[in-house]
Amino acid sequence: MTDSGVNINSAVISAEESVSPTRRFFIGIQKSGPVLVPLLSLAAMIVLIIYMVNNPGGAIEARILNYGNVLRMFREHITLVLVGSGAAILTSVPLGILITRPAMRRYTPLIDNPVNVAQTVPGLAILALFLTIFGLGFRTAIFALWLYSLLPILRNTSSGIQGIEPGIIEAARGMGMRPWRILIRIELPLALPIIMAGIKTATVVLVGSAALSTFIGAGGLGELIVTGIDLMRPTLIYTGAILSALLAILLDNLLGSLERYLRER
């Protein structure tokens, strides 16, 4: 997926003019969003797991839908997402800072352009490519997901820093700040909301890509979905689908409000 895939919060509501009840309702949700939506998603996930395990709706489903199994897949999924995006943050933020240093500036397009191209490569293709190189397994999936979420974060880091008005940097330099201090005190704080937006996009996309990891034998909630498709058991599909969708919504909201907090500050 490309950059503009998953962020729309900002466009929806601007509280102005006369406010209709519907709008007020959505503004209400928006305002309580940081707490309400993640909590609701979490609660919904717990309720769903308990309900499905107790009402599997058939013998085949019952064999798969037990706490041990579901929680394992859930844990695998979260691990894939968090380790994948965590590793991506740790690598792409420093890399993004590096390529925006004055000495490196003229090489920035050399890195930016391939990154933009690579970002159009579909998630399944990346997983498949890595499968042929590293074989089946959890580690291959992590590696592919890391690379896949590296791109949006790297791009947002570099464009966030490059987007800072040159006058601000010049003023800081004029006041006698060292490059290192400028980075810490000016560039990073100003670019942080944009970096955060990249992290959010990457993480939400990763929840979806991680669901594909089951094809290369890495488990996760995709396993539940794919098993459901293979066995034609809708209950399994729904359980996996809704759990992963809720996980995406939860992370989207948590990181989204973190981004908004950073922006407003």
Partner 1 sequence: MGASRFEFRDVWEYITSNQDYLIRLMIQHAHLVFFAIVLGVVIGITLGFLSAYYKPVAAVVLPFAQIMMTVPSIALIGILLPFVGLGFNNGLVALTLYSLLPIIRNTYTGLNEISPSILEAARGMGLSERRILWRIKLPLVLPVVFAGIRTAIVMIVGIGAIASYVGAGGLGDLIFRGIARMRPVMILTGAIFISIIAIFLDIIMGWIERKLIARQT
Binding site for partner 1 (CB under 8 A): 1-2, 4-6, 8-9, 11-13, 20, 22-23, 25-26, 117, 120-126, 128-129, 131-136, 204, 207-212, 215-216, 221-222, 225-226, 228-229, 232, 234, 237-238, 240-242, 244-245, 248-249, 252
Residue 215 CB, nearest approach to partner 1 (Å): 6
Rank residues 30 and 188 by Cβ distance to partner 1 and give the closer one. Answer: 30
- Range list of H helices, the chain: 9-12, 21-54, 59-64, 67-99, 108-119, 123-134, 138-162, 166-174, 179-182, 188-212, 221-231, 234-264
Rank residues 26 and 138 by Cβ distance to partner 1 and give the closer one. Answer: 26
Residue 95 CB, nearest approach to partner 1 (Å): 22
Output b/e per residue, 66-84; b: 16+ Cβ within 10 A.
eeeebeebbebbbbbbeeb
Rank residues 4 and 54 by Cβ distance to partner 1 and give the closer one. Answer: 4
Closest of 74, 206, 229 to residue 149, by C-alpha: 206
Rank residues 133 and 175 by Cβ distance to partner 1 and give the closer one. Answer: 133
Which amino acid, one-letter code, is at 47? V
Residue 81 CB, nearest approach to partner 1 (Å): 11
How far apart CA 54 and CA 265 sit, in angstroms, is 46
- CB 198 within 8 Å of CB 157: yes
Residue 17 CB, nearest approach to partner 1 (Å): 9
Residue that has been written with the tokens 């390529």 in this structure: 99
Rank residues 94 and 114 by Cβ distance to partner 1 and give the closer one. Answer: 114
